[in-house]
Structure 1
Amino acid sequence: MKKNIFKSIRKLFNKEPQFDEKSNQHRINLKHQDISTRYEENLEIFKTIFSFPMSCDVKIREFTIRSLNRRAFIIFIATMVDGEYIMKSILKPLIENPQPSRDIANIVSFPIEDTKTKIGAITEDITTGNTALFVEGDHQCYIFATTELKGRSIEKSDNEVIIRGAKEAFNENLFDNVGLIRKKIKNENLIVDHLVVTERSRNDVLLVYEKDLVDDKLLQAITKKLNSIDADSVIDLSILEQFLEERPRSLFPTILNTERPDRAVSFIEEGHIVLLMSNSPNCLVLPATFWAIFHSPEDHYLRTPYGNFIRLLRLVALFISMFASAFYIAITNYHVGMIPPDLLMAIAGTRERVPLPSIIEILMMELAFELIREAGLRVPSPIGPTIGIVGALILGQAAVQANIISPIVIIVIALSGLSSFIISDVSMNFAIRISRFLMIFSAGFMGMYGMEAMILLGIYYLVSLKSFGVPYFAPMTPHTTSAKDLIIRPVPMKLRFRPGYLKPKDMVRQGKDS
Structure 2
Amino acid sequence: MKIKSLKSLIKNGNEEPQFPELSNVQDIELKKQDISSQYDQNIAIFKSIFSFPKNTDIKVREFTIRSLNRRAFIIFISTMVDIKNVQESILEKLIENQHPSGKIQDIVSYPMEKTASNIGEITEFICAGVTALFVDGDQKCYIFETTKTRGRSIEKTDNEIILKGAKESFNEKVVDNIALLRKKIKNENLIVEAKIITKRSKNDVFLVYEKDLVNDELLKKIKERLDSIDSDKILDLSILEQHLEERPRSLFPTILYTERPDRAASFIEEGHIILLMSNSPSCLIMPATFWSLIHSPEDHYLRAPYGNFIRILRFVALFVAAFTSPLYVAITNYHVGMIPPDLLMAIAGTRERVPFPSIIEILMMEIAFELIREAGLRVPSPIGPTIGIVGALILGQAAVQANIISPIVIIVIALSGLSSFIISDISMNFAIRLARFLFIFTAGFLGIYGATAFFMASLFYLVSLKSFGIPYFAPMTPHSISSKDLIVRHVPFKERFRPGYLKPKDMVRQRKG
Output the TM-score relative to the length of structure 1.
0.96
Q: CA deviation at 1:390?
A: 0.3
Aligned pairs for 1:213-252 within 5 A: 213-252=213-252
Indicate the residue corresponding to 2:101 in structure 1: 101
Q: How many Å apart are 1:28 and its aligned residue? A: 0.5
Query: Quick one: distance in 2 between partners of 1:413 and 1:355?
Result: 19
Aligned position for 1:513: 512
Secondary structure in structure 1 of the residue aligned to 2:115: strand
Equivalent in the alignment of 2:310: 310
Q: CA deviation at 1:89?
A: 1.1
Output the amino acid matched with 1:305: P
Letter paired with 1:183: K
Read off the aligned partner of 1:231 and give its amino acid letter: S
Let me know the Cα RMSD of the aligned residues: 1.3
Question: Helix, strand or coil for the counterpart of 1:102?
Answer: coil
CA distance in 1: counterparts of 2:380 and 2:13, whole angstroms: 45
Deviation for aligned residue 1:110: 1.4
Name the structure 1 match of 2:425.
425
Please give the residue correspondences for 1:480-491 in structure 2 after superposition, counting only pairs within 5 Å: 480-491=480-491
Other-structure match for 2:196? 196
Match of 1:5 in 2: none
Secondary structure of 1:79's aligned partner: coil
Task: Report the AA paired with residue 45 of structure 2.
Answer: I
Equivalent-residue separation in structure 2 for 1:493 and 1:147 (angstroms): 44
Question: SS state of the match for residue 209, structure 1?
Answer: strand
Determine the C-alpha separation between the residues in 2 that align with 1:354 and 1:14: 55
Question: Helix, strand or coil for the counterpart of 1:369?
Answer: helix
User: Against the structure 1 CA distance between its residues 224 and 15, is the aligned structure 2 distance closer, same or farther, given a 3 Å change threshold?
Assistant: closer
SS of the counterpart of 1:234? Answer: coil
Matches within 5 A, 1:91-490: 91-490=91-490
* Segment drifting more, 283-292 vs 105-114: 105-114
Partner of 2:3: none
Flag the 1:16–1:190 CA change in 2: closer, same or farther, 3 A: closer
Q: In 2, distance between residues paired with 1:24 and 1:422?
A: 51
Q: How far 1:98 moved relative to its partner?
A: 1.8
**How much has 1:18 moved relative to structure 2?**
5.3
Whole-angstrom CA distance in 1 between matches of 2:203 and 2:12? 36
Following superposition, the deviation at residue 14 of structure 1 comes to: 7.4
Letter in 1 for 2:116: K
Q: Aligned in 2, Cα 1:337/1:255: closer, same or farther, shift over 3 Å? A: same
Q: TM-score, normalised by structure 2?
A: 0.97
Pairwise CA distance, 1:19: 4.0
In 1, distance between residues paired with 2:97 and 2:469?
61
CA distance in 2, matches of 1:100, 1:14: 67
- Partner of 2:112: helix, strand, or coil? coil
Deviations 1:97-150 (A, max 9, x none): 122111111112212221111111111110000000001111111110000000
Deviation at 1:22, TM superposition (A): 2.0
Shift of 1:93: 1.6
Corresponding residue of 1:6: none
Q: How far is 1:395 from its partner?
A: 0.2
CA distance in 1, matches of 2:90, 2:264: 39
SS of 1:473 mapped into structure 2:
coil
Mapped to 2, the partners of 1:269 and 1:160 lie a distance apart of 20
Q: Which amino acid aligns with 2:147?
A: T
Distance of 1:248 and 1:88 partners within structure 2: 50
Between 100-109 and 166-175, report the one with greater CA deviation.
100-109
Amino acid at match of 2:277: M
Shift of 1:418: 0.3
Change beyond 3 A, Cα 1:13–1:107: closer
Whichever residue aligns with residue 513 of structure 1, its letter is K
Q: Quote the residue 1:38 is aligned against.
A: 38
Q: Which amino acid aligns with 2:241?
A: E
Matches of 1:271 and 1:19, distance apart in 2: 42
* 1:57 correspondence with 2:57: yes
Structure 1 residue ranges without an equivalent (≥5)? 1-10
SS of residue matched to 1:113: strand
When structure 1 is superposed on structure 2, of 26-35 and 362-371 the one drifting more is: 26-35
Specify whether residues 181 and 349 from structure 1 end up closer, same or farther in structure 2 by C-alpha distance, changes over 3 A only: same
Give the aligned residue type for 2:260.
Answer: R
| Percent identity over paired residues | 73
* Cα deviation code 1:14-61 (max 9, x no counterpart): 775554532221211111111001110000000010010111000000
Q: How far did residue 298 of structure 1 move?
A: 0.3
SS in 1 for 2:482: coil
From the superposition, tell whether residues 12 and 228 of structure 1 become closer, same or farther in structure 2 (CA, over 3 Å): closer
